[in-house]
C-alpha cells in the first residue's frame, strides 16, 4: 500500500470541491436559549442533517472519489461501529462500487440495518475479544479491496474538515470551535480548516469522560491506548487516536475536555426540547462542553460541531424519559 502524505488545508479545500453536489451543505443553527444560558453567540453546525445522518459521509465520499479504476473494480472495505459504515455503504453505492463492512456484533441495530439498507455487505465481530484492524487487513488482502478506515486516513480527515470550512465561511471568524472526537478524524480536519480560515480561533476537542485517551495522549506527547470505554457515546468509543490525526491535534488543538454520560443526556434533552432536533449521544459531546459550562465562553463567538443524529428510537426514548 502506498503511504499518503499528511493532509493539509489544501486537501480540505480539494475535498470541498469533490463532495459538492453529493454532500449536503448542512445548516448552521442558533438558539436564543443557548445564547442566554452561556452568555455567548453559539453557532451549531448541524451534521445530524447530513446525508445518512452524520458528518462521516464527507470523508467517506472524498476517499472513494480518489479511487483508481482498479480500486473501483475490487471495491471498498471498512470497519466501523456505525456511522462510517453507513457513510462508506452510501458513498460506494453512489460511486457504483462494492462495499464490505466489518461491524461489532453489538453495534446499534439501527446502524446495522441502515448499512445493509444502503447495499453494504456486513461482517460482524466481537469488539471485546477480536481486532477489527486484523480482520480488515486480512479481508483486504484476500479480496483486493481498498480499506478506508474510519479516521486514520488523509482523505477521510480532509473530507471531515469541510464541515468546519463551511461553518466558518458562513459565520466568519470564531473565538472558539468545539469538536467531538473518537479517533480524531473530524477534529483533525476541522482544526486544519480553522487554522486556515480563522487563525485566532481556539479549537477544543471533546471526548467522553470514560474514554479520555486523546486528553492523555496530548499530555504525554504520544498516542495512548485505552480499553474500549463504556459510554453512551458509541461513536466516540475508540481506544486511541489515529497516527495521521495525532500530530495535527498536537499542533492545532488547544486542549481536550471531557463530558459525562449524564451531561450528554442533559444535552440531548436540550436539543429535543429547545431546538426540536434529534441528536445522537456522541453528537452531543461538543455542545455539552459549552452548555454544561465545562469551558466558559461568555462574550465569545463559538462554533459547535453537532456531529450526528443516528440513534435507535427506543434507545432515544429511554434517554429522554
Ligand X SMILES: *Cc1c(COP(=O)(O)O)cnc(C)c1O
Residues in touch with ligand X (CB under 6 A) = 54, 56, 83-84, 150-151, 160, 180-187, 235-236, 238, 280, 282-283, 307-308
Nearer to ligand X, 120 or 150 (CB): 150
Which residue among 45, 56, 98, 165 is the active-site one? 56
Number of H helices, E strands in the chain: 14, 10
Nearest CA-CA partner of 81 in 228, 268, 190, 207: 228
To ligand X, the closest distance from the beta carbon of 150 in angstroms equals 6
To ligand X, the closest distance from the beta carbon of 239 in angstroms equals 11
138 tagged catalytic:
no
To ligand X, the closest distance from the beta carbon of 227 in angstroms equals 17
Nearer to ligand X, 104 or 308 (CB): 308
Residue 95 CA to residue 72 CA, distance in Å, equals: 8
Nearer to ligand X, 18 or 56 (CB): 56
Q: DSSP alpha helices (H): ranges in the chain?
A: 9-19, 32-38, 56-65, 69-74, 83-95, 109-117, 132-143, 154-171, 185-197, 213-220, 245-252, 261-274, 285-291, 313-320
- Contacts of 143 by beta carbon, 8 Å cutoff, 6+ apart: 74, 75, 77, 100
Q: Which three cell numbers stand for residue 261?
A: 454520560
Q: Which three cell numbers stand for residue 220?
A: 504525554
Which residue among 81, 163, 198, 307 is the active-site one? 81
Q: Are strands 28-29 and 146-147 parallel, antiparallel or unpaired?
A: unpaired
Residue pair 89/118 in contact (Cβ under 8 Å)? The answer is yes
To ligand X, the closest distance from the beta carbon of 280 in angstroms equals 6
Nearer to ligand X, 87 or 97 (CB): 87
To ligand X, the closest distance from the beta carbon of 236 in angstroms equals 5
Nearer to ligand X, 75 or 309 (CB): 309
Within 10 Å of residue 285's Cβ, how many Cβ atoms? 32
Query: What are the residues facing 301 on neighbouring strands?
Result: 41
81 tagged catalytic:
yes
3-class DSSP assignment, residue 188? helix
Catalytic residues: 56, 81
Amino acid at each position: 500500500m502506498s503511504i499518503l502524505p499528511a493532509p493539509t488545508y489544501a486537501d480540505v479545500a480539494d475535498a470541498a470541491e469533490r463532495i459538492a453536489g453529493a454532500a449536503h451543505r448542512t445548516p448552521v443553527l442558533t438558539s436564543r436559549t443557548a445564547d442566554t444560558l452561556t452568555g455567548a453567540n453559539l453557532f451549531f453546525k448541524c451534521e445530524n442533517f447530513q446525508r445518512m445522518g452524520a458528518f462521516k459521509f464527507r470523508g467517506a465520499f472524498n476517499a472513494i472519489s480518489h479511487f483508481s479504476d482498479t480500486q473501483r473494480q475490487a471495491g471498498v472495505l471498512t470497519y466501523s461501529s456505525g456511522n462510517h459504515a453507513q457513510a462508506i455503504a452510501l458513498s460506494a453505492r453512489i460511486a457504483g462500487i462494492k462495499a464490505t463492512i466489518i461491524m461489532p456484533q453489538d453495534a446499534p441495530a439501527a446502524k446495522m440495518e441502515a448499512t445493509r439498507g444502503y447495499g453494504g455487505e456486513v461482517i460482524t465481530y466481537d469488539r471485546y475479544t477480536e481486532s477489527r484492524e486484523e480482520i480488515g487487513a486480512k479481508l483486504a488482502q484476500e479480496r483486493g479491496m481498498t480499506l478506508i478506515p474510519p479516521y486514520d486516513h488523509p482523505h477521510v480527515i480532509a473530507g471531515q474538515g469541510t464541515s468546519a470550512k463551511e461553518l466558518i465561511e458562513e459565520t466568519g471568524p470564531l473565538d472558539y470551535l468545539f469538536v467531538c472526537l473518537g479517533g480524531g478524524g473530524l477534529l483533525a480536519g476541522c482544526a486544519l480548516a480553522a487554522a486556515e480560515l480563522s487563525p485566532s480561533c481556539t479549537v477544543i476537542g471533546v471526548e467522553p469522560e470514560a474514554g479520555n485517551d486523546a486528553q492523555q495522549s496530548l499530555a504525554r506527547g504520544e498516542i495512548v491506548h485505552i480499553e474500549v470505554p463504556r459510554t453512551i457515546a458509541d461513536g466516540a468509543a475508540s481506544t486511541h487516536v489515529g497516527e495521521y490525526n495525532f500530530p495535527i491535534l498536537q499542533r492545532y488543538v488547544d486542549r481536550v475536555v471531557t463530558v459525562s454520560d449524564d451531561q450528554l443526556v442533559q444535552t440531548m434533552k436540550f436539543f429535543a426540547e429547545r431546538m426540536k432536533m434529534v441528536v445522537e449521544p456522541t453528537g452531543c459531546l461538543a455542545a455539552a462542553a459549552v452548555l454544561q459550562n465545562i469551558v466558559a465562553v461568555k462574550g465569545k463567538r463559538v462554533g459547535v460541531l453537532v456531529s450526528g443524529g443516528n440513534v435507535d428510537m427506543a434507545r432515544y426514548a429511554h434517554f429522554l424519559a
